[in-house]
Amino acid sequence: MGLGIKKGDTVAVLAGKEKGKKGRIISVLTDKAGKGGKVLVEKLNIIKRHTKPSKTHEQGGIIEKEGPIHASNVMLVCPKCGARTKIAAHMQADGGKLRVCKKCKEVID
């Protein structure tokens, strides 16, 4: 996903049932084509999964876990200025890239 959102970022959800909520990215998932990823956001878009009894879970039951949210439906919340922002790339002399907030121009990492 290039200079997109990363694990540990705080994002705001722009659409869907969690619209308006904020949370921390716990995982970034890329699709088979390697683009248009989805993200798991801590405690958001919780889905319930019924599990059958097994050797490790004798009772079976319901597991609650975060469901994927399309990356285009979330926006980074800048850790510096607190605004919802897009990420700009800042090229470094050594060829590396840093992520920069488009609003406050601060380097995010």
3-state SS track over 21-44:
CEEEEEEEECCCCCCCCEEEECCC
| Residues contributing to the site for Zn ion (CB under 5 A) | 78, 80-81, 101, 103-104
14 vs 67, beta carbon nearer Zn ion: 14
Give the shortest CB-101-to-Zn ion separation in angstroms. 3
**Token pair for 75:** 């926006």
| C-beta separation of 22 from 12 below 8 A | yes
Nearest residue (CB) to Zn ion, 7 versus 105: 105
Nearer to Zn ion, 38 or 103 (CB): 103
